[in-house]
């Protein structure tokens, strides 16, 4: 089963987005009972906002498998495209147009822990994303870039020596679609296209990190 989800300090890009959002965010109409912005104000193009995003994803090449010690059957695997992603940033409205730019940073982490022994596999990397979005009604569609920084894969087997593999910083592409429930909450799906290369002098192995995922965003 998967455990040990963690959060690292956000990137400088996410910090810069906070200042941009605070400068451009207008005052929204609020429901007199709940105090939440009314749904009529929920269109993406109306405002700039801070955003917290949590998602799960999977895909890419297999890094290591987890096998049942009794039957030898594979029951799970750690993959280069997984697994849990947590980011903080801002969506910056571009005037009165239908377009905005989201800047965010955070951590993407795949952790696999055996429930029959002490085998562990962790693949973690910092992420910085810049995604222009086209906003229409309660929907938005974006295509942008994602930088994965300091990727590290660590394996700690129950029997045998541990292993750590460092990968080079890499840049890939992101295609994302979101639908907004109200001014604060939205859900969506994304596809990430990216490749990891080992940080060694020669004969560097490459791993496909392409992944499909779903996410929930809270904007404020």
Does residue 135 have a pLDDT over 60? Answer: yes
Q: Give the pLDDT band of residue 19 (cuts 50, 70, 90).
A: very low
Listed by start position, the domains of the chain span 12-219
Average pLDDT for residues 1-10, to the nearest whole number?
A: 36
- How would you write 108-143 as a 3-class SS string? EEEEEECCCCCCEEEEEEEEEEEEEEEEECCEEEEE
Does residue 1 have a pLDDT over 50? Answer: no
* Stated pTM of the model: 0.78
Does residue 15 have a pLDDT over 80? Answer: no
Q: What is the pLDDT of residue 208?
A: 95
What percent of the chain has pLDDT above 70? 75
Does residue 132 have a pLDDT over 70? Answer: yes
Does residue 91 have a pLDDT over 50? Answer: yes
Q: How far apart are CA 101 and CA 4, in angstroms?
A: 31
Q: What is the pLDDT of residue 35?
A: 57
Q: What is the pLDDT of residues 196-207, one digit of tens each?
A: 999 886 677 899
Does residue 172 have a pLDDT over 50? Answer: yes
Sequential DSSP letters for 3-72: ------PPPHHHHHHHHHHHHHPPP--B-TTT-SBPGGG--GGG--EEEEEEEEEE-S-EEEEEE-TTT-
Does residue 83 have a pLDDT over 80? Answer: yes
**CATH no. for 12-219:** 2.40.160.20
Pair of tokens at residue 37: 């912005």
Look up tokens 């269109």; give the residue: 43
Average pLDDT for residues 162-168, to the nearest whole number?
A: 89
Q: What is the pLDDT of residue 98?
A: 93
Does residue 171 have a pLDDT over 90? Answer: yes
């Amino acid at each position: 089963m998967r455990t040990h989800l963690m959060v690292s300090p956000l990137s400088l890009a996410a910090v810069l987005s906070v200042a941009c959002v605070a400068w451009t965010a207008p005052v929204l109409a609020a429901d007199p009972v709940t105090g939440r912005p009314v749904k009529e104000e929920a269109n993406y193009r109306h405002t700039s906002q801070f955003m917290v995003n949590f998602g799960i994803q999977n895909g890419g090449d297999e890094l290591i498998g987890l096998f049942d010690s009794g039957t030898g059957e594979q029951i799970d695997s750690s993959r280069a495209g997984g697994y849990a992603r947590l980011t903080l940033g801002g969506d910056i409205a571009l005037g009165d147009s239908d377009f905005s730019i989201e800047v965010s940073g955070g951590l993407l982490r795949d952790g696999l822990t055996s429930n029959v022994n002490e085998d562990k596999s962790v693949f973690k990397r910092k992420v910085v994303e810049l995604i222009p979005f086209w906003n229409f009604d309660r929907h938005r569609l974006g295509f942008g870039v994602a930088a994965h920084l300091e990727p590290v894969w660590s394996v700690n087997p129950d029997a045998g020596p541990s292993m750590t593999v460092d990968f080079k910083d890499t840049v890939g592409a992101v295609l994302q679609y979101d639908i907004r429930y109200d001014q604060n909450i939205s859900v969506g799906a994304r596809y990430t296209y990216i490749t990891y290369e080992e940080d060694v002098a020669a004969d560097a192995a490459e791993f496909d990190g392409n992944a499909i995922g779903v996410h929930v965003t809270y904007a404020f």
